[in-house]
Structure 1
Amino acid sequence: MLAWLAELSPHFGPLNLFRYITFRTGGAVFTALFFVFFFGPRIIAALRLKQGKGQPIRLDGPASHLLTKKGTPTMGGLMILSGLIVSTLLWANLRNHYVWIVLLVMTGFGMIGFYDDYLKVTRQTHAGFSGRLRLALEACIALLACFLMTHFGTAHTTSISFPAVNGYIADLGLFFVVFGAFVIVAAGNAVNLTDGLDGLAIVPVMIAAGTFGIISYLAGNAIFSTYLGINFVIGAGELAVVCGALIGAGLGFLWFNAPPAQIFMGDTGSLALGGLLGTIAVAAKHEMVLVIVGGLFVLEAVSVIVQVASFKLTGKRVFKMAPIHHHFEQLGWSESQVVVRFWIIAFVLALIGLSTLKLR
């Protein structure tokens, strides 16, 4: 919204700052941060009042969770999403179609997660609504988003690229819509599976957002993209503002989610933020880099798939408990050890992902 002020710069020079994505990204970070700081306590109090017993805890999970986490309110994703949306609408260029597509996916996935959290809280059960129905709804939203990208996009919108390879390697045509939707849905559910310990999901999400903020900015800049040998995507640079808003909202949420957590983000937040990251990766044409940068989320998802497949096929479990962060808890790691060490892994993977920009 504030981007239009740049049009008044001939009359007042300092307004030219609003022309720069970097300036507006910084503004988005601080706006989202202070929004969550200011409204966070009020949202937590309202959710605690409405939810009563809070989020139900898995009975088959670590015993310590039943004692320390029982009664903690969930749906804290509402704090993150509200701060992110307000900040994005304020600082992003609303003429950019990528901004609206990302907000569409984030809001849609957030609504699915909210309904799932609502059922868990009201029924006091760890199970929400049908997994197949949830995946179907996510797929519909993701397919619509990818269709809109191909409709409003420019050349090579339906093409894919790989790290360390110059240019695009294949044009998927209409199949790109399916491929992109798979990336978005997979990212949403991978982040959802990671959200199991205080602060475990939100910091890697912020690290990934910072990484893709840089990637989006570079991909959307003709000079930088040419220098680095990455594909130029017109309009992708504006997604850096969205990533900045996510980082600010995430920092504000972490203030309240740090151990011992006052609130959990719930499926409301994890599904929405994962879907947002997946959509940005697809829009910036760095879908494969998301596998590296979001490697921690991939590991969590794969651990669940392997555990379920192994148990169904052989009757034996590969891990003591899945997702894999619970496996390490069962091995004797404290919650803080698991969380901080997983943060370190996420940071290292982000650096590896960024290094691929120059390996061409």
Structure 2
Amino acid sequence: MLYYLFRYLETLNFPGAGVFQYITFRAGMAVIIALLFAAIIGKQVIKKLQRQQIGEVVRDLGLEGQYAKKGTPTMGGVIIIAAILVPVLLLSKLDNVYIILMIISTIWLGAIGFVDDYIKVFKKDKEGLAGKFKIAGQVGLGLIVGITLFASDDVVVRERIPDEVVVVQAEDGTMIERPATKDTKSTVTNIPFVKSNRFNYSKVVWFLGDQAEKWGWLVFVVAVIFIITAVSNGANITDGLDGLATGTSAIIGSTLGVFAYLSSNMIYADYLNIMYIPHSEELVVFIAAFIGATVGFLWYNSFPAQVFMGDTGSLTLGGIIAVFAILLRIELLIPILCGIFLVENVSVMMQVSWFKYTKKRYGEGRRIFKMAPLHHHYQKKGYTESKIVTRFWIIGIILAILTIVTLKVR
């Protein structure tokens, strides 16, 4: 909203109004507003949750310090969602297709998580929203995102035309040759550690010949659904210790911010041989708000937590990360960047699968880990909660650096 106001003021030659045209300025403002909003409003929300007796329901898992968490306000994810949306609505171009998709994703998954928390807290049902309904909601969002990327004329990528060049004038007036490019609808995405740095989903159905490009979109949409479901559930599973999911998401968000800025800048994208995505610069503003919101929420969510985000927050954070990466065409970097979420997810799958297999074969279920997900395994081994969280953050930072390194290591 402020963006449109200042753009109008600029037409009236209002001093300083043009500063809103700079992505870096709006992104910086988004971080500050989101952080302050989460920190200031968070305190009021926590008090309200306490008055409403909306507290964490604790199950006996035999973990140290577990019962100290009983009654801690939950559903704090509403703080994160509000802290993201307020600066985005104020500072971004609201007619931008990427911003529209990110706002829909935030509200959509926030609503699913809210319903899940509501059932747990108010209906006293520890299972919450049935898994099939969660999956249905995630699949629904995947369809919205995938079909929009396929159908919207505003969603294009700029690709090089092989063996063609154009002559352009440099800043110093000299004429130079550059590779010719074109804006196109494409199922091409970035892939790490490969020289060409490109992967086309249509190659999955190469056997269809001339129809491969057309059916490649179906493969792409299926991939979008899978990624959104996997990452949002991964964040949900990771949210088991004070500040773990919040801090990890902030680290991931900062890395996505780097990629968003590079992918929206033609010069940097060309230099690094990554896909230039026209009109995606507004995503820098969104991810800046995301970073500010998670850091602001961490003020209250760090050990010992004064509030938990609940599924309202964790499903939303994971979904935002997944959709954001898909829009930037860096979804194949998710296994590296979101390695913490991946390992937590895999640890649960391994534990459950091995338990069922051994119970069927030997009549008694056996476990790989002392407890799943993985962070609880280390709790069972006697590590303190704050040490586990800090070490997971350190690993998250290492994975973030490795993700950025993929820009040059091919």
Alpha-carbon offset, residue 254 of structure 1: 0.9
Give the letter aligned to residue 35 of structure 2. Answer: L
In the aligned structure 2, how far is the partner of 1:254 from the partner of 1:63?
22
In the aligned structure 1, how far is the partner of 2:197 from the partner of 2:394?
31
In the aligned structure 1, how far is the partner of 2:330 from the partner of 2:8?
32
1:32 corresponds in structure 2 to 34
1:58 corresponds in structure 2 to 59
Q: Could you say if the C-alpha distance between residues 164 and 235 of structure 1 is closer, same or farther in structure 2, counting changes exceeding 3 Å? A: farther
Q: SS of 1:285's equivalent?
A: coil
- Bigger fraction of residues in helix: 1
Q: Could you say if the C-alpha distance between residues 304 and 87 of structure 1 is closer, same or farther in structure 2, counting changes exceeding 3 Å? A: same
- Conserved 8 A contact 1:6-1:17: no
Deviates more, 1:251-260 or 1:345-354: 251-260
2:317 corresponds in structure 1 to 273
In the aligned structure 2, how far is the partner of 1:12 from the partner of 1:227?
36
Q: Could you say if the C-alpha distance between residues 178 and 3 of structure 1 is closer, same or farther in structure 2, counting changes exceeding 3 Å? A: same
Alpha-carbon offset, residue 6 of structure 1: 3.9
2:179 corresponds in structure 1 to none
- Bigger fraction of residues in strand: 2
- Conserved 8 A contact 2:117-2:312: yes
Offset from partner CA, 1:220-273 (integer Å, 9 cap, x none): 111110000101111222111111101111121111112111110000000001
Give the letter aligned to residue 387 of structure 2. Answer: Q
Say which of 392, 400, 404 aligns to 1:342: 392
Alpha-carbon offset, residue 14 of structure 1: 2.4
1:244-259 to structure 2, matched below 5 A, reads 244-259=288-303
Q: SS of 2:16's equivalent?
A: helix
1:40-55 to structure 2, matched below 5 A, reads 40-52=42-54, 54-55=55-56
Aligned-pair Cα RMSD in Å: 1.5
- TM-score normalised to the size of structure 2? 0.84
- Conserved 8 A contact 2:75-2:117: yes
Alpha-carbon offset, residue 13 of structure 1: 5.1
2:161 corresponds in structure 1 to none
Deviates more, 1:261-270 or 1:236-245: 236-245
- Conserved 8 A contact 1:56-1:125: no
Alpha-carbon offset, residue 61 of structure 1: 4.7
Q: Could you say if the C-alpha distance between residues 274 and 74 of structure 1 is closer, same or farther in structure 2, counting changes exceeding 3 Å? A: same
2:253 corresponds in structure 1 to 209
- Conserved 8 A contact 2:378-2:388: yes
- Conserved 8 A contact 1:75-1:117: yes
Alpha-carbon offset, residue 359 of structure 1: 2.2
2:165 corresponds in structure 1 to none
Give the letter aligned to residue 146 of structure 2. Answer: C
Give the letter aligned to residue 209 of structure 1. Answer: G
Say which of 19, 23, 28 aligns to 2:21: 19
Deviates more, 1:143-152 or 1:211-220: 143-152
In the aligned structure 1, how far is the partner of 2:62 from the partner of 2:14?
60
Alpha-carbon offset, residue 311 of structure 1: 0.6
Larger Rg: 2
- TM-score normalised to the size of structure 1? 0.96
- Conserved 8 A contact 1:289-1:353: yes
1:9 corresponds in structure 2 to 10
1:312 corresponds in structure 2 to 356
Give the letter aligned to residue 179 of structure 1. Answer: A
Structure 1: 4+ residue segments shifted above 4 A? none
Say which of 146, 149, 168 aligns to 2:198: 168
1:101-250 to structure 2, matched below 5 A, reads 101-152=101-152, 153-154=155-156, 155-165=184-194, 166-170=196-200, 171=202, 172-250=216-294
In the aligned structure 2, how far is the partner of 1:204 from the partner of 1:167?
27
Give the letter aligned to residue 326 of structure 1. Answer: H
1:294 corresponds in structure 2 to 338
- Conserved 8 A contact 1:75-1:114: yes
- Conserved 8 A contact 2:150-2:185: no
